[in-house]
Amino acid sequence: EDKVVQSPLSLVVHEGDTVTLNCSYEVTNFRSLLWYKQEKKAPTFLFMLTSSGIEKKSGRLSSILDKKELSSILNITATQTGDSAIYLCAVVNTGNQFYFGTGTSLTVIP
């Protein structure tokens, strides 16, 4: 059965800390891995990763895919309270089906 697992389930850090969120997958016919941020509303797209070892970066957020290990990490440096959210990882197969993890809930305290 295709599945995506995220860890940790939740995380509480202080402002300024650096966090690493993990996503591992077992999905046949992998095409891409996506990261989303979900606050109290709809998810917003962060990154799409298709190739191993190529880091995608946006401000304090970065992500990398390891196809050998079937995993990806999302790093957030110098965290701010506005980073508090649920971070979702999704894997898309070549049949264009999406498999989501249950998310990591990040709380950043001042």
Partner 1 sequence: DSGVTQTPKHLITATGQRVTLRCSPRSGDLSVYWYQQSLDQGLQFLIHYYNGEERAKGNILERFSAQQFPDLHSELNLSSLELGDSALYFCASSDSGGDETQYFGPGTRLLVL
Q: Catalog residues that contact partner 1 under the rule CB under 8 A.
A: 31-32, 34, 41-45, 48, 88, 90, 92, 95-103
**CB 72: neighbour CB atoms within 10 A?**
26
Cα-based distances in Å from 4 to 22, 58, 81: 10, 23, 27
CB of 70 to partner 1, least distance (A): 17
CB of 110 to partner 1, least distance (A): 28
Q: Which is nearer to partner 1, 42 or 69 (CB)?
A: 42
Q: Which is nearer to partner 1, 43 or 65 (CB)?
A: 43
Q: Which is nearer to partner 1, 15 or 39 (CB)?
A: 39
Q: Which is nearer to partner 1, 79 or 91 (CB)?
A: 91
CB of 72 to partner 1, least distance (A): 14
CB of 15 to partner 1, least distance (A): 27
Cα-based distances in Å from 60 to 70, 72, 75, 81, 101: 24, 17, 8, 13, 23
Phi-psi map region of 87: left, alpha, beta (phi>0 left; psi -120 to 50 alpha): beta
Closest CA to 11 of 23, 2, 3, 20: 20
